Structure 1
Amino acid sequence: MDKAELRRRIVAARAGLADPRGPATAIRETLLDQPWVQMAGLVACYWSMGTEPATHGLVFALWKHGATVILPVLQPDGDLDWAVYDGPGSLAPGPRGLMEPVDTRRGVDTIRTAALVIVPALAVDPVTGIRLGRGGGSYDRALARVGPNVPRVALLHEGELIGGVPAEPHDQAVSVAALPSGIVPIPG
C-alpha cells in the first residue's frame, strides 16, 4: 500500500473514533512517568488538532513541571520554526488552523538543542521507526536536525503501529511510540 492510501485509511479510522482525544490522559501519564521525560529540560512538542492524540494537557504538564517547551511555527515553505510555550495564554491561531506560540521565533535549528522531541504521526513502523505524517514533510525536516541520541516520540492511537510503513529517502524515524496502552521502544 502506498503512503496516500495508508493516510486515507488511518484518517478514516480516526474519524470513526468515539472520542479521539480520549487517550490523551493515558499517553500523558505514561510519558510523564518516564525518567528520560522527567529529566528533559528542553522539550520540542506540538499543539494537537483534530483527531490527533491530544497534547494540550501534556504540554501544560511539562511546562508546569519546569521544562521549557517549544512548539512549532509553520513557515511559508513548510519548514518549522520554534517558539517557547509560556502557558495557555501564549498561543494564537496560525495557518491551517494551528495554534502557535506568540513568543519570539527561535529559528528552525532550535530543535537541535531539545533533549526530547515529540511529534505527530498517523502511523509508525514498529521495526524501522519510520513515521507516516500528513505528507508535508515539515516534521521530517525538523527531525533531520535532531541528534541521534535524543528520544524522538510519536504519539499514536491504538492500532497505528503498522508494519511496512512505506518509506522514502527523506523520511525520518522515531525511536519511541507512545500509545494509550504504553510506551513502545523502536529497535530500528
Structure 2
Amino acid sequence: MDGSIDSEKRALRAELRERRQQRSAAALEDASAGIRQQLDTLVAELGVRSMSCFLSTPTEPGTREFIAGALARGIRILLPITRADGLLDWAVAEEEGATAEGMFGMSEPVGELLSPVAVNDVDLLVIPAAAVDRSGMRLGWGRGYFDKTIGSMEKCPPVYAVVFDTELVDEVPRDLHDQPVTGVVTPTRTVTLTTR
C-alpha cells in the first residue's frame, strides 16, 4: 500500500471514529430505526431471501433491529466471523443467537461455522464502512476482510454499505485492493452508486 494513501486513510478513519463516538444515545437509537426501515425497503425491492449482514457495534448505525425483524420474516442471514488469515467464515443468524467477542473485540455469532464460500449464494451483501464516496469506493476500518470477500466472489450480488448520512462523501482515499460497493444505506436514505 502506498504510504501517503495509508496515512490519509488512517487520518480519515480516526476522524470518523471520533465523530461516531460523539453521537448521543438518542441519535444512535434514531439511526438504528432508520437503518431498519431503509434495509427493510431494500430487501423487499430486491426480493431478498438470503443475505449477509453484520452485528453493529455500539457506535455504528444499528443493524440489530433489522436483523431481528428480517429473521422473523424468514430471511436467511449470514453473519461474518473473522479469521486470522484475513478471510471471513460465516454463521447463520438465529433469533436468540449467542454471541462472543471476536478477534478484534467485536461481537460475533457463536454457532456452526460455514466456510468463506458460504456467502456465494446470497442475494445481497450488507457490510460496514467508515465512509463511502459518490463513485462507490468504500473506506473500511483497515483490515481488508470485506474487500477480500467481495474481490473473491465469482458472481457478486449487490453490495450496500451501512453508514451515517454524513459519511457519504465526495471522495475517499483508495488503493488497488479496495472494492467498490453498489450503494449505501443511511438512516434516511438508500443511494445506488454503481452497477457492480
Report the TM-score when normalising by structure 1.
0.91
Partner of 2:22: 16
Do the aligned partners of residues 145 and 40 (structure 1) sit closer, same or farther apart at CA in structure 2, a change above 3 Å counting?
farther
CA distance in 2 between counterparts of 1:120 and 1:172 reads 13
Quote the offset at 1:5 in angstroms. Answer: 1.1
CA distance in 2 between counterparts of 1:99 and 1:52 reads 13
Contact 1:85 1:91 in 2 (8 A): no
1:5 maps onto 2:5 in alignment: no
Partner of 1:176: 183
Select 2:116's aligned residue among 101, 108, 123: 108
Partner of 1:48: 56
* Secondary structure of 1:70's aligned partner: strand
Do the aligned partners of residues 75 and 99 (structure 1) sit closer, same or farther apart at CA in structure 2, a change above 3 Å counting?
same
Question: What CA deviation, in whole Å up to 9, does each residue of 1:77-113 have, x standing for no partner?
Answer: 2311111111223333332222222221110111111
CA distance in 2 between counterparts of 1:85 and 1:148 reads 23
Letter matched to residue 182 of structure 2: S
More helix by share: 2
CA distance in 2 between counterparts of 1:138 and 1:164 reads 21
Quote the offset at 1:147 in angstroms. Answer: 5.2
Question: What CA deviation, in whole Å up to 9, does each residue of 1:123-143 have, x standing for no partner?
Answer: 00112x111111000111111
Structure 1 runs not aligned, ≥5 long: none
CA distance in 2 between counterparts of 1:148 and 1:157 reads 28
Partner of 1:57: 65
RMSD: 1.8
Letter matched to residue 30 of structure 1: Q
1:82 maps onto 2:70 in alignment: no
Percent identity of equivalent pairs: 30
Report the TM-score when normalising by structure 2.
0.87
Q: Which moved more, 1:75-84 or 1:12-21?
A: 12-21
Partner of 2:166: 159
Question: What CA deviation, in whole Å up to 9, does each residue of 1:63-84 have, x standing for no partner?
Answer: 1111111101111123111111
Q: Which moved more, 1:167-176 or 1:142-151?
A: 142-151
CA distance in 2 between counterparts of 1:178 and 1:147 reads 24
Q: Which moved more, 1:98-107 or 1:85-94?
A: 85-94
Select 1:142's aligned residue among 134, 140, 149: 149
Q: Which moved more, 1:11-20 or 1:91-100?
A: 91-100
CA distance in 1 between counterparts of 2:98 and 2:45 reads 26
Partner of 2:45: 36
* Secondary structure of 2:165's aligned partner: coil
CA distance in 2 between counterparts of 1:177 and 1:170 reads 20
